[in-house]
Structure 1
Amino acid sequence: MLRQNLQQKLLQKLSPQQIQFIKLLQVPTVALDTRIKEELEENPALEDPSLMTADEPVSEYDDLNERDDYDSEAKEDTSTDEFNVEDYLQDDNTNDYSTSYNNGDDDEEKKETPIAIESTFFESLQEQLDLVPLSDTDFIVGKQIIGSLDDDGYLRRPITSMIDDLAFSQNVIVEEEDVHEMLKVIQSFDPPGIAASDLQECLTLQLKRKDVNNPIIKKAISIVEHHLDEFTRKHYDKLEKSVGLNSEELKEVVAEILRLNPKPGDSNQVTTKQLQIIPDFHISNNDGILILTLNSKNAPELRVSRSYMDMFDHYDKAAQKDKKLKEAVQFVKQKLDSAKWFIDAIKQRQQTLLKTMNAIMHYQYEYFLTADERKMRPMILKDIADKIGMDISTVSRVANSKYVQTEFGTFLLKSFFSEAIQTENGEEVSNKEVKKILEDCIGNEDKRRPLADEKLTEILKERGYNIARRTVAKYREQMNIPVARLRKEL
């Protein structure tokens, strides 16, 4: 049975301004400039004074502060309108935040990292192919092989698939033997090991480019061709028996294999998209006093366009308003609103960033002074959220995408957060401290007899950290440290 009834509900709904602020807060400094340029292109009522040329007029009208074109009666009419023009008739300096967060020389910040102009991996192979005297068909097959290589230099496409591509796309009919012959030519190019089908063939190709009469090279080829699995698992005892080597000879053979490049395509690969980290904050140590500054790129020179303010004032005071004029007034009003909202969101972003980072800096003051991870206190998002009186989600958005530059490196804010671990004395310490101890223990271990997780657990317990073995294994994996067997060296 269908019924109609009325209900009252309380719902939390974000306003457009709040949504815009949240999106801006998540944007890192490296992407903020792009976001501001997009807004400048979309909204003509928003201006960046630094982009204006010296001879560019600021307004098509006279300065509002220097003219008295309208009488008091007209001003009273505007005050009763739902849109207050006076909100936008402000001094330009009220919306200019660049001087508040100046950090270093502007010319220094505008410097760009130069990128060396080099041949890419595929261009280098093509240049070598051009130098080989080949028939037209072989040349086409060679280009097909080069184009089928992966970025790491391997040829993982089946030969039959390349033959089909040549037949259907270029009307070139070749036999499988022809492709294999051309593949051998490509494999003779630099870098060594190129166009291999797997790791075993890649390493073998590189070794065969060396002095094959050298006994060490011969043994290395034998290990790669017949005992690669034992080598990767570091079963050195089995290798000594299988290949007939003593420990010293095996040590030389292993060193020779480790010098090979498992990804030859990366050796001459120019990365066009470089990961560029621009710190959002800077912390300097001034005789034991930490000083926090915000990167000036976070404080752009933005203001509401004086031309659009004058334009709206002019339209709003017009004696007669037809439909088109009202639409023009509404359009200008919308753009002015949007510009003011964006500037306010940028200002709020700056205040939130500084407030959050200032709380993190004071919470981890000893760590930022000494750069000793053992001084890092346990800290979770709620600790900072309670300090600054903001929601945990706000702190999370700042911590997950912002970097701080210190005198001992540049770090993601998220890295300063850690869980608490209780020692035997009842004292709470950060798990960063435990990880640092594990890293030191593994770094100082005898690589011929690396410490197993059980032994590491015992060492920690001796130092007062009562931690389970599985927790030690979890921390070791988080630090990308392999198990003891794979850390073994001769």
Structure 2
Amino acid sequence: MKQSLQLKIGQQLTMTPQLQQAIRLLQLSTLDLQQEIQEALDTNPMLEVNEEEHSSTAEDASGLNGEAPKNDTDTNNDTDNPTADTTEPGTAASEDSGATPEDTADGDWNEEIPNDLPVDTSWEDVYQTTSSGSSLPSDGDDNDFETRRGTTDSLQDHLTWQLNLTPMSDSDRLIATAIIDAVDASGMLTITIEEIYQGLQATFEELELDEVMAVLHRVQQFDPVGVASQDLSECLLLQLRQLPADTPLLDAAKLIVSDYLGLLGSRDYKQLMRRAKLKEPELRDAVQLIQRLNPRPGDSISSGDIEYVVPDVFVSKQEDRWSVQLNPDIAPRIRINPDYASLVKRADTSTDNTFLRDNLQEARWFLKSLQSRNETLLKVASCIVEKQRGFLDFGAEAMKPLVLHDVAEDVGMHESTISRVTTQKYMHTPQGIFELKYFFSSHVSTDSGGECSSTAIRAIIRKLVAAENPKKPLSDSKITTLLADQGIKVARRTIAKYRESLGIPASNERKRLV
């Protein structure tokens, strides 16, 4: 077989390192972005925190300097492009950040730094990378707020602490420790008391089951009330026994919990009244007493990870105009250190100068990527506000159908970019704080030839269920009929799907005594 060389012309899509960095920053959440900026500050000597106070003027309207750019959407002007009058963030930031050649001693160093890298290169191919440092602050500031103020005690730690304060023999203390180890996060025993007894027989040959039960009863007196219960009935009974003896219908509540808890769970009130020999008002008051109990007592002690939602965009109405503004606190104010930037010398190939030049270029690209992120986020948020004015004015029932393609066309970007921008980004509105993806929903056709958002349908379902008669809850078929009366045609199975997504139980489970 003869070998030969051939030239072929082809096209393929590639991304420059700058574009890769911009896309990576674009899809970061607020907390991840703060960590990324802190890491850049720790590893790049050219970047510094700009602690100077800036006046809120048009020249300072930049996400890089910490000032949030604004965009006012006129509710009386139906323009196709709501971002046409948007103040471009970062316009004056480059002049103030210390990264321009005019602010340096040798202004012509920029000529040797390219604006773009070739598409087939990476950061490491051209510039030295600094060692990855820790993103934790070295000073004693309040950045570790959650760690220092959050509790780390588990339910077992809380029970063990009470056990150490309880006078008890050594053998009983070991039994209590075994019982506490079998308690899960909700406060219930994961194994039966017989299994605990069998596991302790290897240590205590003469141990009897009554001794284990006696220790169990002592552990069940610990806080929270109802802990170390073997089942739900016992958990609720322990809590009822802690109530004062003169509590109205206490005996009836104990009878229902101990003998007829299954009937109460299935909401068979007629059968429950007949067997418990209670009248409807008495049963209603007893059920209300039981509903005040906690079926998962351990949840009040177990501490989970606290998740904070920091809005990226603020939306407010000022003089009949919806104002869109980036959150100025989502990122620290950073800039390029002008003193270090002035040390870069032209035509100097020394190691120190190369190190400074590489970090300077990396800092410039990082600031540019942050600027691009803020601009894109503001444009997308402004477009969403323009299209969802009804939601901002009247609530979820006025939500309009919206898909990624609609926003992508208006802002002139690809749908994948819109998807990255709206992921884990939150908007603070008069209606509450919502993820940007919340404003995107499918549509359902109406009898009048229009469209109704699936989010609006969910809001209508929630409103209908809230206003229903508790004795005769609305079935899915009835809700379908009520929506059809409003001109919205939705199948019954679709109503069931929307109802389950809202966490609303079925009609037979919503039935209760008035």
Once superposed, what is the RMSD of the aligned Cα atoms?
Answer: 3.6
Structure 2 vs 1, CA of residues 172 and 45 (structure 1 numbering), >3 Å: closer, same or farther? Answer: farther
What is aligned with 2:371? 347
What is aligned with 1:47? 48
**TM-superposed deviation, 1:200:** 2.7
**TM-superposed deviation, 1:360:** 0.5
**TM-superposed deviation, 1:38:** 1.2
What is aligned with 1:103? none
**TM-superposed deviation, 1:137:** 3.1
What is aligned with 1:445? 468
SS in 2 for 1:261: coil
**TM-score, normalization by structure 2:** 0.75
What is aligned with 2:226? 193
Percent of aligned positions that are identical: 32
SS in 1 for 2:329: helix
Question: How many angstroms apart in 2 are the aligned matches of 1:253 and 1:346?
Answer: 60
Structure 2 vs 1, CA of residues 81 and 249 (structure 1 numbering), >3 Å: closer, same or farther? Answer: closer
What is aligned with 1:101? none
Q: Does the Cα contact within 8 Å between 2:310 and 2:330 map onto a contact in 1? A: no
What is aligned with 2:118? none
Q: Highest relative contact order (Cα 8 Å, sep 6+), 1 or 2?
A: 2
Question: How many angstroms apart in 2 are the aligned matches of 1:297 and 1:131?
Answer: 46
- The alignment status of 1:297 with 2:320, answered yes or no, reads no
Question: How many angstroms apart in 1 are the aligned matches of 2:452 and 2:303?
Answer: 44
**Number of aligned positions between the proteins:** 437
The amino acid across from 1:372 in the alignment is G
Question: How many angstroms apart in 2 are the aligned matches of 1:79 and 1:23?
Answer: 26
Which has the larger displacement, 455-464 or 3-12? 3-12
What is aligned with 1:363? 387
The amino acid across from 1:312 in the alignment is V
Question: How many angstroms apart in 2 are the aligned matches of 1:434 and 1:80?
Answer: 59
What is aligned with 2:166? 132
Q: Does the Cα contact within 8 Å between 1:29 and 1:297 map onto a contact in 2? A: no
Question: How many angstroms apart in 1 are the aligned matches of 2:344 and 2:434?
Answer: 47
Question: How many angstroms apart in 2 are the aligned matches of 1:162 and 1:23?
Answer: 52
Question: How many angstroms apart in 2 are the aligned matches of 1:65 and 1:208?
Answer: 77
What is aligned with 1:427? 450
**TM-score, normalization by structure 1:** 0.78
The amino acid across from 1:154 in the alignment is M
Query: What is the aligned counterpart of 1:245 among 278, 302, 317?
Result: 278
Q: Which has the larger helix fraction?
A: 1
* Unpaired segments ≥5 residues, structure 1: 52-62, 85-108
Question: How many angstroms apart in 1 are the aligned matches of 2:14 and 2:382?
Answer: 30
What is aligned with 1:32? 33
Structure 2 vs 1, CA of residues 82 and 483 (structure 1 numbering), >3 Å: closer, same or farther? Answer: closer
Question: How many angstroms apart in 2 are the aligned matches of 1:343 and 1:142?
Answer: 59
What is aligned with 2:500? 477
Question: How many angstroms apart in 2 are the aligned matches of 1:44 and 1:21?
Answer: 21
Q: Does the Cα contact within 8 Å between 2:47 and 2:334 map onto a contact in 1? A: yes
* Unpaired segments ≥5 residues, structure 2: 53-100, 116-141
What is aligned with 1:285? 317
Question: How many angstroms apart in 2 are the aligned matches of 1:345 and 1:167?
Answer: 66
What is aligned with 1:59? none
Q: Does the Cα contact within 8 Å between 1:125 and 1:190 map onto a contact in 2? A: yes
Question: How many angstroms apart in 2 are the aligned matches of 1:261 and 1:296?
Answer: 42
Question: How many angstroms apart in 1 are the aligned matches of 2:16 and 2:200?
Answer: 58
Question: How many angstroms apart in 2 are the aligned matches of 1:399 and 1:176?
Answer: 62
What is aligned with 2:356? 332
The amino acid across from 1:363 in the alignment is K
Question: How many angstroms apart in 2 are the aligned matches of 1:165 and 1:12?
Answer: 65
Which has the larger displacement, 414-423 or 137-146? 137-146
Structure 2 vs 1, CA of residues 13 and 222 (structure 1 numbering), >3 Å: closer, same or farther? Answer: farther
The amino acid across from 1:282 in the alignment is F
